[in-house]
């Protein structure tokens, strides 16, 4: 674990470069490069993709923070300084995803862009960015796992990381961040394969929503950090269940479009 990648002195200031921030920057760059490459291959202009990616990044950060605060609103209202400390956290991913998708939907509608095609382009890039970003989580100690006795357990030892994220020190924990990084990398590869064989626009993105929901719901069982819950389920598990149902329904609807058109053609 390495909360800060390196540090240096500049004009009397002690500058520390957080590993998590560096990994997030790398995740954004890698995802944007992949999305731009895919757009170029499909003959789409670069500028709208860049605009959507920046809009999704900004709104995603805001959405992730807002959901983080909303999940424990009484605590933050009674401890205003905790809001500032929470700015060091990435927030809740599903909050960022919902805000990012909502923002992009609005832009797509306003500009008359091919929304489902753009969503298919974005899905593998999002999975790749998540995989890289989770390595930053591991370095920082956030999103830590439950206490366990498995042979591959990890032990965090940095007091600085505990101060920032609350991760328990000197106890074996599930490496939940590594689970997520590996799972998202696998999801990225699966989405690339689906993209090569897709039968309708939106198929790749909907598979992303469905498969990520399953991955997140299962891996939440290994998480030990506080992140809100309802009826014994974490907030992310509840959102994942809703996302999976919505994705499954939309996949059924959209998979029928080519078939219905074919049926109409035969009838004629």
Give residue-wise pLDDT tens across range 72-124: 667 667 776 666 655 555 567 778 888 888 898 898 888 888 889 999 999 99
Res 38 pLDDT > 80:
yes
Query: How many other C-beta atoms can be found within 10 angstroms of the C-beta atom of residue 191?
Result: 25
Q: What pLDDT does 21 receive?
A: 80
8 located within any domain:
no
Res 216 pLDDT > 90:
yes
31 located within any domain:
yes
Helices within 72-114 (DSSP H only): 73-78, 80-86, 93-111
Res 41 pLDDT > 70:
yes
Q: What pLDDT does 4 receive?
A: 64
Instruction: Output the CA torsion 92→96→102→103 (10° steps).
Output: 150
20 located within any domain:
yes
Handedness of CA 129, 180, 195, 253 (dihedral sign): negative
Query: Between residues 50 and 205, which one has the greater pLDDT?
Result: 205
Handedness of CA 94, 98, 104, 108 (dihedral sign): positive
268 located within any domain:
no
Q: Supply the range of the domain harboring residue 67.
A: 14-262
Q: For the segment 155-207, what is each residue's pLDDT rounded down to a tens digit?
A: 999 888 888 778 899 999 999 999 999 999 999 999 999 999 998 999 999 99
| Mean model confidence pLDDT for the chain | 83
* Strand positions, DSSP E, 79-232: 154-155, 172-173, 229-230
Q: Are 144 and 156 contacting, i.e. CB atoms less than 8 angstroms apart?
A: yes
Query: How many other C-beta atoms can be found within 10 angstroms of the C-beta atom of residue 70?
Result: 13
1 located within any domain:
no
9 located within any domain:
no
Query: Between residues 217 and 46, which one has the greater pLDDT?
Result: 217
∠228-57-52 over CA atoms, to 5°?
A: 130
Q: What pLDDT does 173 receive?
A: 96
5 located within any domain:
no
249 located within any domain:
yes
Q: What pLDDT does 154 receive?
A: 94
Strand 233-234 versus strand 172-173 pairing type: unpaired
Per-residue pLDDT band for 5 (boundaries 50, 70, 90) equals low
When divided into structural domains, the chain yields a total of 1
Per-residue pLDDT band for 217 (boundaries 50, 70, 90) equals very high
Count CA atoms within 13 Å of residue 224 on its CB side.
18
Q: How far is CA 205 from CA 198, 209, 226, in A?
A: 11, 6, 29
């Amino acid at each position: 674990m390495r909360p800060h990648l390196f540090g240096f002195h500049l004009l009397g200031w002690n500058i520390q470069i957080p590993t998590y921030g560096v990994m997030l920057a790398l995740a954004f760059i890698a995802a944007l490069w992949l999305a731009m490459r895919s757009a170029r291959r499909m003959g789409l202009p670069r500028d709208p993709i860049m605009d959507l990616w920046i809009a999704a990044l900004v709104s995603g950060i805001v959405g992730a923070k807002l959901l983080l605060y909303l999940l424990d609103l009484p605590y933050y209202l009674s401890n205003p300084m905790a809001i500032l400390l929470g700015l060091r956290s990435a927030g809740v991913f599903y909050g960022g995803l919902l805000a990012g998708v909502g923002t992009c939907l609005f832009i797509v509608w306003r500009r008359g862009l091919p929304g489902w095609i753009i969503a298919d382009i974005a899905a593998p890039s999002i999975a790749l960015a998540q995989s890289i970003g989770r390595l930053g989580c591991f370095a920082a100690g956030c999103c830590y796992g439950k206490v366990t006795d498995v042979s591959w357990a990890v032990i965090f030892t940095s007091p600085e990381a505990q101060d920032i994220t609350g991760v328990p020190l000197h106890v074996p924990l599930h490496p939940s961040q590594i689970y997520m990084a590996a799972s998202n990398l696998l999801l990225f590869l699966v989405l690339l394969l689906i993209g090569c064989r897709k039968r309708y626009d939106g198929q790749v993105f909907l598979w992303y929503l469905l498969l990520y929901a399953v991955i997140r719901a299962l891996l939440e069982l290994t998480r030990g950090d506080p992140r809100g819950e309802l009826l014994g389920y974490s907030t992310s598990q509840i959102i994942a269940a809703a996302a999976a149902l919505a994705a499954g329904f939309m996949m059924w609807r959209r998979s029928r479009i080519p078939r219905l058109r074919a049926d109409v053609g035969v009838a004629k």
